[in-house]
Copies of this chain bind each other. A is one copy, B any other.
Amino acid sequence: MSLPHAILTALLEKPSSGLELTRRFDKSIGYFWSATHQQIYRELGRLEREGAIRALPSQGATRGQKKEYEVLPAGRAELARWTAEPQDPKPLRDTLLLRLRAAAVVGAEGIQEELRRHLDLHRRQLAEYEEIERRDFPPEKDAVEDRLRHVVLRAGIDLETFWTRWLTRAIEELGETAGAG
Please encode chain A, from 77 to 98, with 1 for each CB lying within 8 Å of some chain B CB and 0 for all others: 0011011111111111111111
Which of A37-45, A60-68, A132-140, A163-171 lies at the interface with chain B?
Answer: A163-171
* A6, CB-defined interface residue at 8 Å: yes
* A50, CB-defined interface residue at 8 Å: no
Cβ of A105 and Cβ of B32 under 8 Å apart?
A: no
Please encode chain A, from 93 to 131, with 1 for each CB lying within 8 Å of some chain B CB and 0 for all others: 111111111111111111100100110011000000000
A102 in complex: contacting residue of B83, B89, B173, B174, CB < 8 Å:
B83
Q: What band does the interface of chain A fall in when counting residues whose beta carbon is under 8 Å from B? A: 35 or more
Q: State how many copies of this chain the complex holds.
A: 2
Cβ of B145 and Cβ of A173 under 8 Å apart?
A: no
Cβ of B151 and Cβ of A86 under 8 Å apart?
A: no
* A12, CB-defined interface residue at 8 Å: yes
Distance in angstroms from A178 CB to nearest chain B CB is 10
Cβ of B148 and Cβ of A89 under 8 Å apart?
A: no
A147 in complex: contacting residue of B32, B102, B174, CB < 8 Å:
B174
* A177, CB-defined interface residue at 8 Å: yes
Q: A32-B94, A32-B97, A155-B170 are in contact. List 5 more A-B contacts (CB 8 A).
A: A79-B105, A79-B106, A80-B109, A83-B103, A89-B122
Interface of A with B (CB < 8 Å)? 2, 5-6, 8-9, 12-13, 29-34, 76, 79-80, 82-111, 114, 117-118, 121-122, 144-149, 151-152, 154-156, 158-159, 161-162, 165-166, 169-170, 173-174, 177, 180-181
